[in-house]
């Protein structure tokens, strides 16, 4: 933990702003031909032959993350991932990021190094050039803002608004795990406050905790769809929860949908942890959020191409707008879909 007295603490002021930037960024390599100039001048210079997508997310301590259980390296990693996920949701290839960070003097250099170790790992794994950013102080707490840039062929880009009646609604991976991971971490935090010597057994929760602390972005799904020659008619990434993302797709596409409860892909650890917490797993799947899976629609003609794939689940059908958006329950009842979005969680 960052306040650990035994760890080495180098004051940020010992390096100065330029020393700090240099120290943090000296390992970053440029891999993309679209990066003409990276870190080191007043601005980066890029050159694209395709359409360019740009997206930004701001993460604020105490609002989007809690450092009592979020390791700083994971925070750096996740701050990049959440942005890459938005690039992939446009069916684009992510190529560059900028990183802006505001830190109070309660953070030593070693803490910022840990954040940058996570950023560097994400940049390596996802093949992203880190091309710039800004470094400043804050009175209190930590802020990280990442901007991600990507490229996509003009006819390859997929928007939220292209879903058509009779299209299939498809989701990658499984959902609800990040939310249940957070529930376990919050519970253990409370236990720790009462008894700091208590060593929690987190073994039964490894998958769901990892989904919360170290999410991945579905670059692989964008490649898979391209390999299968499937272009989604609409797409969005799941950051706020399945129901709210379905509502975005349907509203922007001016369509309705039927979503099938018995088709929702849930990991066994989500189901068992929901039982333990006495929470309905469908509610978690619909409203959990932070899954960073891709939700998309495809024409029924493309169904044979995706049906055998274990990474993709067909969870519903697109309907006419006037038919509305519904969940078809296991008991075969129709419930209107609402975006509940548990607000203690994220926004």
Rounded to 10 degrees, the C-alpha dihedral 271/276/277/280 comes to 40
Query: In the bound complex, what is the minimum distance in angstroms from residue 38's beta carbon to ligand ADP?
Result: 7
Of 56, 86, 19, the residue nearest 237 (C-alpha): 86
The window from 58-66, 69-77, 129-137, 151-159 that contacts ligand ADP (CB under 6 A) reads: 129-137
Which residue number is nearest to ligand ADP in terms of Cβ? Answer: 132
Query: In the bound complex, what is the minimum distance in angstroms from residue 134's beta carbon to Mg ion?
Result: 4
Of 312, 32, 344, 296, the residue nearest 172 (C-alpha): 312
Q: Which helix (H) or strand (E) holds 183?
A: helix 177-194
Residues 36-65 that bind ligand ADP (CB under 6 A): 39-42
Q: Half-sphere exposure of 102 toward its Cβ, with a 13 Å CA cutoff? A: 11
Residue 133 interacts with ligand ADP (CB under 6 A): yes or no: yes
Q: What is the 8-class DSSP label of residue 195?
A: -
Residue 200 site contact among ligand ADP, Mg ion, none (CB < 5 to 8 Å, cut-off depends on kind) = none
Q: Annotation-wise, does 95 bind a ligand?
A: no
Q: Annotation-wise, does 240 bind a ligand?
A: yes
Question: Exposed/middle/buried for 268, CB within 10 Å: 0-12, 13-18, 19+?
Answer: exposed
Residue 123 interacts with ligand ADP (CB under 6 A): yes or no: no
Query: In the bound complex, what is the minimum distance in angstroms from residue 196's beta carbon to Mg ion?
Result: 40
Q: Which residues in this chain contact Mg ion in the complex, by CB under 5 A?
A: 134
The window from 125-133, 266-274, 320-328, 331-339 that contacts ligand ADP (CB under 6 A) reads: 125-133
Residue 147 interacts with ligand ADP (CB under 6 A): yes or no: no
Nearer to ligand ADP, 145 or 346 (CB): 145
> What totals of helices (H) and strands (E) does the chain contain, helices first?
10, 13
Residue 244 site contact among Mg ion, ligand ADP, none (CB < 5 to 8 Å, cut-off depends on kind) = none
Q: Is the dihedral of CA 260, 329, 162, 171 positive or negative?
A: negative
Q: Annotation-wise, does 205 bind a ligand?
A: no
Q: Annotation-wise, does 86 bind a ligand?
A: yes
Residue 101 interacts with ligand ADP (CB under 6 A): yes or no: yes
Q: Annotation-wise, does 342 bind a ligand?
A: yes
In order, the DSSP letters of 165-181 are TTPEEEEES--SHHHHH
Residue 40 site contact among Mg ion, ligand ADP, none (CB < 5 to 8 Å, cut-off depends on kind) = ligand ADP
* CB burial string 209-226: b at 16+ within 10 A, e below: bebbbbbbbbbebbebbe
Q: Annotation-wise, does 293 bind a ligand?
A: no
Query: In the bound complex, what is the minimum distance in angstroms from residue 109's beta carbon to Mg ion?
Result: 19
The span from the CA of 285 to the CA of 281, in Å, is 6
Q: Contact 212/178 with Cβ under 8 angstroms?
A: yes
Residues 177-236 that bind ligand ADP (CB under 6 A): none
Question: Residues annotated as binding site for Mg(2+)?
Answer: 42, 55-57, 86, 134, 237, 240
Point out which residues bind ligand ADP (CB under 6 A): 21, 25, 39-42, 99, 101, 130, 132-135
């Amino acid at each position: 933990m960052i306040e650990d007295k035994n760890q080495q603490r180098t004051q940020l002021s010992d390096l100065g702003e330029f020393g700090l930037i240099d120290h943090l960024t000296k390992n970053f390599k440029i891999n993309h031909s679209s990066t003409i100039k990276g870190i080191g001048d007043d601005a980066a210079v890029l050159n694209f032959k395709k359409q360019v997508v740009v997206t930004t997310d701001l993460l604020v301590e105490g609002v989007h993350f809690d450092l009592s259980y979020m390791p700083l390296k994971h925070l750096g990693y996740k701050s990049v991932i959440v942005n890459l996920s938005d690039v992939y949701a446009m069916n684009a290839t992510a190529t560059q990021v900028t990183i802006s960070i505001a830190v109070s003097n309660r953070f030593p250099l070693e803490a910022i190094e840990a954040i940058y170790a996570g950023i560097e790992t994400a940049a390596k794994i996802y093949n992203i050039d880190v091309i710039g950013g800004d470094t400043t102080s804050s009175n209190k707490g930590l802020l990280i803002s990442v901007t991600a840039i990507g490229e996509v062929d003009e006819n390859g880009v997929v928007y939220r608004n292209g879903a058509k009646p009779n299209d299939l609604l498809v989701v990658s991976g499984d959902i609800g795990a990040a939310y249940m991971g957070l529930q376990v971490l919050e519970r253990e935090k409370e236990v720790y406050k009462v008894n700091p010597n208590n060593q929690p057994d987190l073994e039964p929760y490894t998958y769901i905790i990892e989904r919360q602390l170290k999410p991945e972005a579905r670059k692989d799904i964008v490649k898979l769809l391209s390999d299968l020659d499937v272009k989604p008619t609409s797409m969005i990434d799941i950051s706020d929860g399945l129901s709210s993302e379905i509502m975005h797709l349907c509203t922007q596409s001016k369509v309705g949908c039927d979503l099938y409860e018995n088709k929702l892909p849930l990991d066994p650890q989500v189901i068992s942890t929901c039982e333990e917490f006495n929470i309905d797993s469908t509610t978690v799947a619909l409203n959990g959020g932070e899954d960073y899976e891709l939700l998309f629609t495809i024409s029924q003609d493309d169904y044979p191409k995706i049906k055998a794939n274990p990474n993709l689940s067909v969870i519903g059908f697109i309907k006419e707008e006037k038919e509305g958006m519904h969940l078809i329950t296991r008991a075969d009842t129709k419930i209107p879909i609402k975006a509940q979005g548990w607000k203690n969680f994220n926004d």
